[in-house]
Structure 1
């Protein structure tokens, strides 16, 4: 089923947004560092990237003398993601919401930069510069690949990201969590077939962000990516299966998730800042690798800032949309860094009735099973500042009155405090009561602080000024 898709002969015309487009922007803004040549793919690439994760992206030429460079740290803060989508930071979530509501179907092309080089005899570690990241990872991992899978019955595609352990020259262990890819795989496995997939490495940030949307089953995230870009994503059919992949990707690994096969995978450093355990997982049999002639390999350090932000912001937009459908008083949400951009959600509301925050808390738990803690705050709290959120809890919350606890709910299997994913949920109403003395919850404020111009208010040479004062 390929309805709603149109075909063009080539991937020509005006330049299509891709990874290189974003790297050029980073370089022009002084946000891209270039490492020395020959840095080791085992630990060293990740160590340098980790050191720079709050400051700059970093490009590694010839890592371990490999001809394909590696890039990491595409995002160091939220504002970079807004820049990648060419929207103001304040409109980041609303732009993502709009893309989810108004997806733009992709177009199929017959020639693609992603297929300039074709390897039908596969040796993953020789042909691709795949790093090992955290200290106790079980080996090299592909961490930034879009896993594109087809519904075996309808052909509709799903896009997601999974940790992928290289376990042989043409074999990859993959962790499938209980979402759409696993659903498609079970459909194929029940029919005694492998699930056709592709791992796509090195795409425009819009494609990575779209892959993390909490979309309905059989919603193709590449259509969300098209809406984010403002133009259809150009897709091309794989050489060895029926999966369509972004034509302007850097690298594509084509293969199948094998039925009735499980092999050991892990440990691997995950977003909760712990290692995901070793266990028998699904297995990808690689059939071919295609890539650009001058390909770039994108990697994400497990549990690093890029990992958190790329997963967090699409989830925020989807959760905001989910809550606003039932609660018009909800103005904004944040998945906090301290909560791994997955587990702890702050919700800003314009409170209209008592009891409403608790309903919002329960609605948030239903928005995604990962959500473990929800704090609801008033409009005067800056939810980009975790200190402000904690202040609201400290001064507006009473545990015997404002606490919601749910036991035995589905949570994240990667949360080591859960019982194989069975988790307790906690909601905190940190909002002011509606009927109270106006001065009781009136925040202190220094008049005129917003208008202070420090260049005018302070002397240019403080050392000389101080010396004059103390010398009389």
Structure 2
């Protein structure tokens, strides 16, 4: 559904160049979605029998079948603050799941309910528009509903329904909805599961979700994200690219592109192409990137003539424009990502590196320019004809 950047841009009706601004505007100006009373997801309502859902075991050593595309919505006990976020859910039995709660906004709501000794109502949506997934992964300030961000991305076209049995709202166009409550008392071992790095995440004690009602379309389609696959990495990583783009734009004159690279698991490495006016701009950009996305481990800054999506060009910039004694930033004992198996798993600390692979302004630029072979219209026609013949042979 959303395994390429092009598909995501198409779903949002934006160009590659307009994506960052569209996300930033939607985060700054969320629009409350409309509430409706009838929806496709309400076609069938039934008691929980989770074994009927094709929940997959994706890898050999996974703890069990996992829902990997769940968008979970919840409100604080007073109903004033709403959070919508993406979570993995381990199947326990026909009416119970274990939910992985990272210490972010849903965790905060759960702690608020726990302090009141009450369970937390949740609506679990599967099969939603990519805009909802992106918004749910975008982490706006606590108190801002991600549904409002999604609605802004969709130009006011997002509709929600209120769940039948719990105090939560879900997208009217979802394929499948599980209504449940996160227990304030019961926790069980959860994990391992392959995460964005393609390695197994650790086992932890996590809360149990009791499912009390199920709604779905008559012939619903179950969406599963392959853990560590392109769709997983893009849907989680693109909102972080936006955060990095916005932060870096505040400290340098122009940011052309940001790429949380495939080789960096779409999470741990960033390549930023920028236009600098003074020496030090690239280093400021690197520091801003680390501040915007705390999980970043390595950041490479390059000039605008480098394609951030082409690892050969990025490596070429490192080979020809980088010197370790002057262009390397080393930050020891910084907070890193629990997804990085090489980080200290007890303290969460890691060493972060920044690589300034931009051309030095103090030296003649000619020595750093990429040589190009001049072309003519006739030569370009010959090249295109050769390419066509090569495709025909294949």
TM-score, normalised with respect to structure 2: 0.93
Q: Is the 8 A contact 2:295 2:336 kept in 1?
A: yes
Gaps of 5+ in 2: none
Q: Structure 1, residues 386-412: CA drift from partner, whole Å, max 9, x if none?
A: 111111111111111111111222221
Aligned to 2:158: 233
1:433 to 353, 357, 360: 360
Structure 1 stretches of 4+ with a deviation exceeding 6 A read 459-462
Is 1:354 aligned with 2:279? yes
CA distance in 1, matches of 2:385, 2:219: 54
Alignment of 1:386-465 (within 5 A): 386-420=311-345, 421-448=348-375, 452-454=380-382, 458=386
Deviations 1:275-309 (A, max 9, x none): 11222112211111111112111110111111111
d(CA) in 1 for partners of 2:139 and 2:74? 16
Matched residue SS, 1:310: helix
Superposed, which structure 2 residues align to 1:9-158 within 5 Å?
74-120=1-47, 122-126=48-52, 128-158=53-83
CA contact (8 A) 2:273 2:306 kept: yes
Give the whole-Å Cα distance in 1 for the aligned partners of 2:331 and 2:279: 20
Which of residues 72, 88, 92 is equivalent to 1:167?
92
Alpha-carbon offset, residue 327 of structure 1: 3.2
> 1:243/1:449 Cα in 2 relative to 1: closer, same or farther (>3 Å)?
farther
Give unpaired runs (5+ residues) of structure 1: 1-73, 463-472
Could you report, residue by residue, the CA deviation over 1:245-291 in whole angstroms, capped at 9, with x for unpaired residues?
Answer: 11111111111111132101111111101011222112211111111
Partners of 2:381 and 2:6 lie apart in 1 by 25
Deviation at 1:341, TM superposition (A): 0.7
| Number of equivalences | 387
d(CA) in 2 for partners of 1:459, 1:95: 36
CA contact (8 A) 1:105 1:232 kept: no
SS of 1:155's equivalent? coil
Check 1:124–1:433 CA distance in 2 against 1; reply closer, same or farther (3 A cut): same
CA offsets, 1:343-378, max 9 Å, x none?
101111101111121121111111121111111111
C-alpha deviations, 1:298-343, integer Å up to 9, x for none?
Answer: 1101111111111122221222122223433333211000001111
Q: CA deviation at 1:101?
A: 2.3
Give TM-score, length-normalised by structure 1.
0.78
Q: What is the aligned-residue RMSD (CA, Å)?
A: 1.9
Cα distance in 1 for partners of 2:272, 2:384 equals 38
1:396-445, Cα deviation, whole Å (9 max, x unpaired): 11111111111222221121111123222111111111121232112111
How does 1:204-283 map onto structure 2 within 5 Å? 204-283=129-208
- Tell me the CA shift for residue 459 of structure 1: 10
1:176 Cα offset (Å): 1.0
Q: Supply the distance in 1 between the matched residues of 2:203 and 2:296 (Cα, whole angstroms).
A: 24
The answer to which of 358-367 and 334-343 deviates more is: 358-367
SS of equivalent to 1:391 = helix
